[in-house]
Structure 1
């Protein structure tokens, strides 16, 4: 089963995308409908809302008067938080129930969770992929005024109350631009479904890694389709994978730390277009780690065809690869505090902090690893990288990005 999050700002076109995904074969779970279901007449959710906000939020028929409730909570963050504490756990529980039912009916199901507030509720890490639908603010305002009868001021207020474009970009595995025609938007949906969603689901079910992208170094300053620098996109992609890995490890009860390491974690450094993650644990138990990390899209497999000249991902067998054809990634599992663990984080931090060290390291990146045969050192970076890492670790603390021991981090 593949779990996909779908989100986007008001009037961006999310419903159009959800409808087309359903036609393509996805099972779509609508969070707005779930939100209505959990506060339906006679429900525990509605009873708790009445206890907190009074009977004035009920209509004459005993159902929730959403406009009345909105008037109470929209301008008051504290009251809005109370409402969220009532509804969000119930909505999540119903999401889980419906997803489980879909998997029971079809283990190969693609379940799309249509959730307007994925960013605002900080739940993007719960999904294998997140699709974000976007359109320019002025286009969305025009749609709200034309199609929903809203005033321009009201439309702008709704947009300003939601996540920003940058915040949505940070969680978007796929960015669907809806400033053109509906057929343009649907073509994007079909490409993503065909080239990424279906392939990722099949790869996960088969335990098969997606091909990596070769040994060529990508220019970190190059502009990617969403308008950012490539290294800015790498940073967001690494952060997403770190959160997903930490989430599944925490859910499995595994105490671990997870970090984005390697060259893609360093601004202004050319790198293979592959995200490197490091998972640190107190005792290396691949038999427990691998099944948990598979839930985040990582499998124990070798790169597929189409990667000539790419060396093994690690001298250690404790490595996993991404099953996602749209985002190649490699995961090293190491003992927290070990020399390879320290070096991976210290090298990254040194290269981030010191332009001179970054320049020296870049000079060594193209040298064949065989030139260092027989010398002690790291695994996936060369001996010069180890030297830089050790020098940095002697003077600075070495700290992982996320630790599952901190429940708030997952």
Structure 2
């Protein structure tokens, strides 16, 4: 079951995206609708609201007078929190019931207006944000919801900043033009990413890697992309570990200004490989199934020696990831952190590696031969990095 978080600022067109996804076969969990259901007439939720805010919030039909309730909580932080403490637990419980009733191969779209504000992004396999310019959203609210321009502007300003929302997004759907353009974006998302992601997740496999080598210029968003995946890993493992997992961004995409394959390398540090195996199922459920086979690190500086590890790959075809699960203190663990920090700190070493990457990419069209060509450079980098560590007093970061 693939869990998708869908959000967007008021007036951006989130509902239109949700409707299109449902038409393609998604199961929709609409947080706004559930928030109304759990305080409908006769529910214990409504009774709790009346107890907290008084009988004036009830209309003559026995339902909540939403404008009256809104007037009480809008701009009053304490009142808003009281209302959330009544509604949110009930919405979570009802959401759990709907998800439990969905088929194992379902793509569940959770339409959550305040997904970012509530800090929920890490609980989904993928976060989709519907985005539109503020002027466009204001005009829509005036035209379709009967708001004044001042009211529309105030409602938009009360939500998360657009940049913060975009920062949480794995996918951004831009809705500044005709509805047909938005629908085309949704269709591509469904066919190219959601359906294959769900299948990969269900059968426990990583998305097929592209055989042809593609080294690309540095992307300044790589660190933020890595941070989102790290947040998901920590969320998935927290119940098993009782705290945050030690996960870090390593490899070329962790070095500013470095060209690389568009593949995020992350590292999960564990005390033993038995612990790595204990965590494997939770990682797979979070979208990072274990890759089959035996995997080892070359212990640089110890000729002929290797060090075992586990390797997980991303089931998401839109975001390739290698998650290296290494024992804390092992040579592979230490070298991954040392090389990253050495290249970050020494521009000449970074630039030399970047130039070499472009040369190797020009000579090798497949990933395997490219990786083999890099091995002598890694041996030399190990010596240079170790010398740098001794000269500077570098030690692996303490988690």
Q: TM-score range by the shorter chain?
A: 0.7 to 0.9
Q: Please state whether the residue corresponding to 1:279 is helix, strand or coil.
A: strand
Moved more, 278-287 or 390-399: 390-399
User: Which residue of the other structure, out of 286, 292, 297, is the alignment partner of 2:282?
Assistant: 292
**Distance in structure 1 (CA, Å) of the matches to 2:56 and 2:235:** 40
Aligned-pair distance for 1:240? 0.9
Cα shift readout 1:112-161 (whole Å, capped 9, x = no counterpart): 11111111111111111111111111111111111111111111111111
User: Which residue of the other structure, out of 193, 206, 214, is the alignment partner of 1:216?
Assistant: 214
Counterpart in 2 of 1:267? 256
Counterpart in 1 of 2:145? 148
Cα shift readout 1:349-389 (whole Å, capped 9, x = no counterpart): 4434443443244355566665787x9xxxxx923554565
**Distance in structure 2 (CA, Å) of the matches to 1:388 and 1:240:** 32
**Distance in structure 1 (CA, Å) of the matches to 2:271 and 2:73:** 45
**Distance in structure 1 (CA, Å) of the matches to 2:50 and 2:342:** 55
> Which residues in structure 2 correspond to 1:210-359 (within 5 Å)?
210-213=207-210, 214-220=212-218, 230-232=219-221, 234-253=222-241, 256-285=245-274, 286-301=276-291, 316-359=308-351
Select the structure of larger CA radius of gyration.
Answer: 2
Aligned-pair distance for 1:183? 1.0
**Distance in structure 2 (CA, Å) of the matches to 1:372 and 1:178:** 44
**Distance in structure 1 (CA, Å) of the matches to 2:319 and 2:158:** 31
Q: How many residues align?
A: 374
Aligned-pair distance for 1:209? 1.7
Q: Please state whether the residue corresponding to 2:393 is helix, strand or coil.
A: coil
**Distance in structure 1 (CA, Å) of the matches to 2:78 and 2:34:** 23
Cα shift readout 1:17-50 (whole Å, capped 9, x = no counterpart): 1111111011111110111122223333333333
Gapped regions of structure 1 (runs ≥ 5)? 221-229, 304-311, 376-380, 404-410
User: Contact 1:141–1:152 at 8 Å: present in 2 too?
Assistant: yes
User: Which residue of the other structure, out of 129, 134, 137, is the alignment partner of 1:132?
Assistant: 129
Aligned pair in 2 of structure 1 residues 24, 370: CA closer, same or farther (>3 Å)?
A: closer
Counterpart in 2 of 1:50? 50
The normalised TM-score by structure 1 is 0.83
User: Contact 1:369–1:382 at 8 Å: present in 2 too?
Assistant: no
Gapped regions of structure 2 (runs ≥ 5)? 299-307, 361-369
Cα shift readout 1:199-228 (whole Å, capped 9, x = no counterpart): 0111111222212344332101xxxxxxxx
Q: Please state whether the residue corresponding to 1:277 is helix, strand or coil.
A: strand
Aligned-pair distance for 1:262? 1.5
Aligned pair in 2 of structure 1 residues 219, 37: CA closer, same or farther (>3 Å)?
A: same
Bigger helix share: 2
> Which residues in structure 2 correspond to 1:60-209 (within 5 Å)?
60-102=60-102, 106-209=103-206
Question: What root-mean-square deviation, in Å, do the aligned CA atoms of Structure 1 and Structure 2 show?
Answer: 2.7
**Distance in structure 1 (CA, Å) of the matches to 2:79 and 2:379:** 56
User: Contact 2:233–2:286 at 8 Å: present in 1 too?
Assistant: yes
Aligned-pair distance for 1:54? 2.9
Aligned pair in 2 of structure 1 residues 385, 238: CA closer, same or farther (>3 Å)?
A: farther
**Distance in structure 2 (CA, Å) of the matches to 1:164 and 1:313:** 44
Counterpart in 1 of 2:365? none
Aligned-pair distance for 1:238? 0.6
Q: Please state whether the residue corresponding to 2:272 is helix, strand or coil.
A: coil
**Distance in structure 2 (CA, Å) of the matches to 1:244 and 1:388:** 34
Q: Please state whether the residue corresponding to 1:231 is helix, strand or coil.
A: coil
Counterpart in 1 of 2:364? none
Aligned-pair distance for 1:338? 3.4
